[in-house]
Structure 1
Amino acid sequence: MLRTCRADLHIHSCLSPCGEEEMKPRAVVNQALAMGLDMIAICDHNSAENITAFMTAGYKRGLTVIPGMEVTSKEEIHLLTLFDRQEDCLALQDLIYQNLPGENVEEIFGKQTLVNERDEVIGITSKLLIGATLLSFEQIASFVGSLRGVTIASHIDRQAFSLLGQLGFIPEGISLDGLEISSRTSQEEAQKRFNLYRHFSFVRFSDAHRLEDIGKNITHFLMAQTTSEEIKMALHHQGGRKVMEQ
């Protein structure tokens, strides 16, 4: 049976150098539940090292946590990637780490904190997560597609780190499932500005880096289960699944 699911699929944890230290599993899950969300996705910059902790914390409270990542291509384009299986998300991480140069300088870029499901700090990551990978956006989207994952172009209404901001257009044939609109742009304005790309589904998420921002910008999906497979079907209007009017 299909049902409406409230989703915020773009949340950063304390692993992202731009994320607040408060963005730990229990705290994020509690805030998501308080906002009435059915599912969230943790999408840290170029890493999924905190995914296990967040999925475990979510499972204990009955909240679906989708494993994901916000990858930066060599063109400095941000792409949201979502998976059903943690192993597939970590396979993407392996590819990213092989193509991610540089080491983090905490004093300049910020802390990159690893935590467990009890919000306890267990280490830091030395990779320069805020940097760009050596992979093109087509390579990233193609690899995600080969794992049956979901690829969404992040905040296309922004100039910085967006597909349209960097390229000025969306190439035909790219393995792209949807387009994210930030909270800065209304749905009506987005439909006018991006009418050329109306064949894509538009989604809205919080891009939260602080607890208070979780759930402030969400998308309602009509689907059967809280899985990335169902998200993909909804983005492509398959089997009665869909992205509902915002």
Structure 2
Amino acid sequence: MQTFRADLHLHTVLSPCGDVSMSPAGIVSACAGLGISILGVTDHNTTRQCRIVTELAEEQGLFVLPGVELTTREEVHLLAYFGSLGEAEAFQGWIDDHLTVIRNRPELFGYQVVVDRTESVVYQEERLLIASLTTDIHETASAVRKAGGLLVCAHVAKGKNSLFSQLGIMPKGFRADALEVARKEHRDQVCRRFPVVSGLPFVCGSDAHYVEDIGSVTTEFTLETPGLDEIRLALAGGGGRKVAL
């Protein structure tokens, strides 16, 4: 077993809130310098920047967990991660079918661009990516699971766009693989307020929109090798795999 440091919540320049410093090259360089070996690429409602980040990361010996930060109809943010680029890119078709169509206004919300390894723009998303999906939390979770994804409730201690800020409860019949907090101490605060989640696994992610925020908080995984199935085992506490905040 080995210990891997992970930042599982990173936004690229494709997210309208992502700074220009969050290019694939910028993200990979920062993670390599900080000793972060597992990266979660989680742009708002799109997976289209995952491939370039993955290609650059692999050249540096880093592992990318391709993912997305989904916004449900209730404005709840859910993180979905996939075991391969192919699975993530296939899920993009589902997102495209369910994203509320609102035209982006870059002067208000920010540019939404895919850039290549040289930081040249190769695609600009015209739809506003921070719009919500037409599906509720149950429908969205079901779609992620059907696609083989791992589901994490994003920043559950926040007062906006979290499971508890939007719904106030853990919905009956809803299940996540983990809950995300921005700080280790937030886990205890959430568990005191919502005892129903006290037995669930937690992860930390930086939710970085600026390169200087990458690695501000991380999660340590004890795994045989980096991979979605190994991380799933660690969250379940199986086979000697572990997760630590």
TM-score, structure 1 normalization: 0.94
Alignment-derived partner of residue 39 in structure 1: 38
Take 2:32 and 2:195, find their aligned partners in 1: how far apart are those partners? 34
Alignment-derived partner of residue 232 in structure 1: 232
Take 2:204 and 2:68, find their aligned partners in 1: how far apart are those partners? 16
Alignment-derived partner of residue 208 in structure 1: 208
Alpha-carbon deviations, 1:5-38, whole Å to 9, x = none? 1100000000000010110111110100111111
Alpha-carbon deviations, 1:43-94, whole Å to 9, x = none? 0000011111101110111111111000000010000010111121122221
Alpha-carbon deviations, 1:216-240, whole Å to 9, x = none? 1101111111111111111111222
Take 2:18 and 2:74, find their aligned partners in 1: how far apart are those partners? 23
2:15 alignment partner AA = S
- 1:195 is displaced (CA, Å) by 3.6
TM-score, structure 2 normalization: 0.94
1:13-24 correspondence runs (5 A): 13-24=12-23
Alignment-derived partner of residue 63 in structure 2: 64
Can you give the 5+ residue segments of structure 2 that lack an aligned partner in the other structure?
A: none
1:61-210 correspondence runs (5 A): 61-100=60-99, 101-183=101-183, 186-210=186-210
Take 1:187 and 1:75, find their aligned partners in 2: how far apart are those partners? 23
Can you give the 5+ residue segments of structure 1 that lack an aligned partner in the other structure?
A: none
SS in 1 for 2:166: helix
- Kept in 2, the 8 Å contact 1:57–1:118? The answer is no
Take 1:74 and 1:65, find their aligned partners in 2: how far apart are those partners? 28
SS in 2 for 1:80: strand
* Matched residues, number: 244
User: Over aligned residues, Cα RMSD in angstroms?
Assistant: 1.5
2:123 alignment partner AA = G
Deviation larger for 2-11 or 116-125: 116-125
Deviation larger for 24-33 or 91-100: 91-100
- Kept in 1, the 8 Å contact 2:170–2:196? The answer is no
